Amino acid sequence: MKTVKAKSLRESVRFVLPSVAALGLLGGCSSGSGATNQALDNSAPDDKGALHTLAKDDPSLPDGGDEPGAAPADAVQLNGTLSGFWGPCEPPITCSNQVVLQNNGGDDLTLSDNGVFTFAKPLSPGQGYAVTVLSQPPTVGEHGGQTCVVSAGTGVACSQGVTDVVVNCTTNQYTIGGTVSGLLAGAGLSLYGYAQASPAPTGGQSFLLEQSVLITGDGSPSQTFTFPTPVQAGSYYFVRVLGNPPAPRGQSCAPTGANAQGPVQGAVSGNALDANITNLEVSCTTLPYLYSFEAGTEGWSTLGDGEMMQSSDFHTEGLFGLKIIALDGATWFGATYDAPIDLSGKTHLKWDVETDVVPTTQELAVQTGDNWTWCQGGGWPWLDAGATTTMDVDLTNLDCNADLSRVHALYIYFTNGGGNAGRNERIYYLDNVRAE
């Protein structure tokens, strides 16, 4: 009978188990791939190829080494790089700006500047790691926070250690917005927003933003608005009215509320620190007139041969009125609306007018309703030359059943009261067209 010689322990191990290299414990381990801990995380080969268990959970071996108080001979470091971080604060800013990392739910590491970092507790080759952010950089005074994200943060330690963990920090961004109340249906309100980053800790990004937003009234008591581009956290901002709703839906809108008492007159202001701004308030009130011509001709045109221009020569409201030049001596002047205006509840239409040297008569015409019906009713009142007169038309006594909730056009007729021989150009002044 043939005698079989017993194999050595090392040969037996090789027969039963795959090679150590095949287990990824020496040269084939993964790093920064998001891999989970492998089955032999707590084991390592001895110098003879046999396996022994590392007592890393033993309280007497805080560093996971073979001897109390010491790291194992084959321990490796867990390294990474921090970038984009607002570094330590410098005078006159006082803060404690920092981000705290963890590995495997412990081994906290506090960082306060960009660059390479190393966790205090070493790893054994083959041991899994998972780097996470325990606490994000805080909001500091008037300086907003950041969000730090770990990439290549999980894997299995190689014999040469881990070096490819990356933590990148970016400044948080927030939107600016609020509520507009009292904006008439179809009225257009333009708001202007300005934002600039406050002085930041070392490494903080500079920031400057100017933008505007147009809000069109939808007929509701209030409606929200948000500027299209967010601002950097920590930015100082202010918002003011860039353009009030023009005639004939003329309104005066202004910021209201506690945050409207800032350093910029007529604006709401504050600092965007750690959340979207949603509580800005703008309130609109309806003007007592349809047209005051403070913004120019305000959409007026002529249906005949004539010209119009803003003029300071005549005004009864504000600083300007409308100068009308009737080149053929008589024609209609007024406005046609993209969206109908609502004059329901109004009983009189008034305007202030003055001629140069020629007496005239006047008439009012409005186009109303779904059928776009023209209605008149001014009664052709007489206007003496050189005198300022307030014309008053009774809207309840027009020559048709006018639907004043939908007025599509408003025109005033100027004549020369029989003409003036040899004079083809006639000048009139108009201001403060109002519905009461």
pLDDT tens track for 156-169: 999 999 999 999 99
Look at residue 329 and tell me if it is in a domain: yes
pLDDT higher at 292 or 4: 292
- 14 lies in a domain? yes
pLDDT given for residue 70 in this prediction: 61
Out of 252, 286, 320, a domain closes at 286
pLDDT digits (tens, 9 = 90+) for 333-373: 999 999 999 999 999 999 999 987 777 778 899 999 999 99
Lowest mean pLDDT among 198-212, 304-318, 325-339: 198-212
Mark whether 160 and 190 lie in a shared domain: no
On whether both 249 and 316 belong to a single domain, the answer is: no
- Between 198 and 176, name the one with better pLDDT: 176
109 shares its domain with 242:
no
The total of structural domains in the chain comes to 3
Q: Is residue 1 part of a domain?
A: no
Residue 210 reports pLDDT greater than 50 = yes
Answer yes or no: do 22 and 157 share one domain: yes
* pLDDT of res. 330: 76
Predicted local distance difference test score (pLDDT) of residue 251: 94
Model confidence at 128: pLDDT above 60 = yes
Would you say residue 58 lies in a domain?
Answer: yes
Residue 217 is part of a domain; what is its CATH number? 2.60.40
Does 25 have pLDDT greater than 70?
no
Average predicted confidence (pLDDT) for the chain: 81
Residue 226 lies in a domain: yes
Residue pointed to by tokens 């390479």: 116
Q: Could you tell me if 194 and 51 lie in one domain? A: no
Please give the pLDDT value at position 93: 64
- What's the confidence (pLDDT) of residue 370? 92
Same-domain status, 19 and 61 = yes
**Burial of 303 by CB count in 10 Å (0-12 exposed, 13-18 middle, 19+ buried)?**
middle
Residue 384's pLDDT is 79
Average pLDDT over residues 55-60: 39
Cα 275–Cα 279–Cα 285 angle in degrees, nearest 5: 160
Q: Out of 1-5, 134-138, 160-164, pick the least confident.
A: 1-5
Please give the pLDDT value at position 355.
84
- The answer to whether residue 5 is domain-embedded is no
Asked if residue 362 belongs to a domain, the reply is: yes
Residue 14: which pLDDT band, with cuts at 50, 70 and 90? Answer: very low
Identify any residues that bridge with 65 across adjacent strands, giving them in sequence order. none
Name the least confident of 46-50, 153-157, 230-234, 432-436: 46-50
Q: How far apart are CA 417 and CA 385, in angstroms?
A: 10
pLDDT for 52 equals 35
pLDDT of residue 32: 55
End-of-domain residue from the set 149, 171, 193: 171
Residues 27 and 108 in one domain: yes
Model confidence over 223-243: pLDDT tens digits?
Answer: 999 999 999 888 889 999 999
Parent domain of 412? 301-435
User: Average pLDDT of 168-178?
Assistant: 93
pLDDT for the residue numbered 293:
96
Structure-block tokens of residue 146: 């950041």
Q: Which of the residue ranges 123-127, 327-331, 406-410 would you say has the lowest mean pLDDT?
A: 327-331
Residue 294 lies in a domain: no
Write down the pLDDT at residue 286.
Answer: 93
> Do both 309 and 215 map to the same domain?
no
**Do 129 and 260 reside in the same domain of the chain?**
no
Shared-domain flag, residues 108 and 183: no
Task: Decide if pLDDT at 59 tops 80.
Answer: no
CATH number at residue 404: 2.60.120.260
Last residue of a domain, one of 152, 171, 190: 171
Query: pTM of whole model > 0.75?
Result: no
Whether 147 and 195 map to the same domain: the answer is no
pLDDT at 94 over 80: no
One domain for residues 427 and 329? yes
